[in-house]
Amino acid sequence: MKKLNSKVIYHGGTIPVPSYFQKGTLELQDSLVRFHARGESEKYDIDIRIPLSKLRRVVAEEKKYYSSTGYFLIIQYADAADAQQKLEVEIRCFGRRGTAQAVARLWAQTLSENIQPA
């Protein structure tokens, strides 16, 4: 199993937190995807752990916003109650667009290989 670890920025999804653009990390380890980001206060911290067996769809997207381009990873998964959830994070590579694009594609490819057919 590959181990991946990337710095990301939380942009949205189905998580009910008021803070957006939270800096965090996305990790793949031991058949689990973990997303962790610190909020303005401790009650807005995000800590999501997604078993690979719960992944439904993973895509990398390029989006233009403001005056720059961001490379996003969109993860759709089933939660513990089998409800569909979504997580959208921007891959951070400090000004290196080609690197950010490659990392986003690597995440999408690696996670997509673990999606179980419905």
Would you state the pLDDT for residue 95? 63
pTM over 0.85: yes
What is the C-alpha separation between 86 and 112, in angstroms, rounded?
A: 15
Q: What is the pLDDT of residues 72-107, one digit of tens each?
A: 999 999 999 999 999 999 998 776 778 889 999 999
Q: Is the Cβ–Cβ distance between 43 and 26 less than 8 Å?
A: no
Mean pLDDT of 66-77: 89
Q: What is the pLDDT of residues 4-13, one digit of tens each?
A: 999 999 888 8
Domains of the chain: 4-112 (2.30.29.30)
Size (the chain), residues: 118
Q: Is the Cβ–Cβ distance between 116 and 53 less than 8 Å?
A: yes
What is the C-alpha separation between 64 and 58, in angstroms, rounded?
A: 19
The one-letter code for the residue type at 2 is: K
Tokens of 59: 């895509």
More confident residue, 112 or 30: 112
Q: What is the pLDDT of residues 13-64, one digit of tens each?
A: 888 777 778 899 999 988 999 999 988 888 888 999 999 999 999 999 998 8
Partnered with residue 7 across adjacent β-strands are 25
Q: Is the Cβ–Cβ distance between 100 and 91 less than 8 Å?
A: yes
Would you state the pLDDT for residue 17? 76
Would you state the pLDDT for residue 1? 59
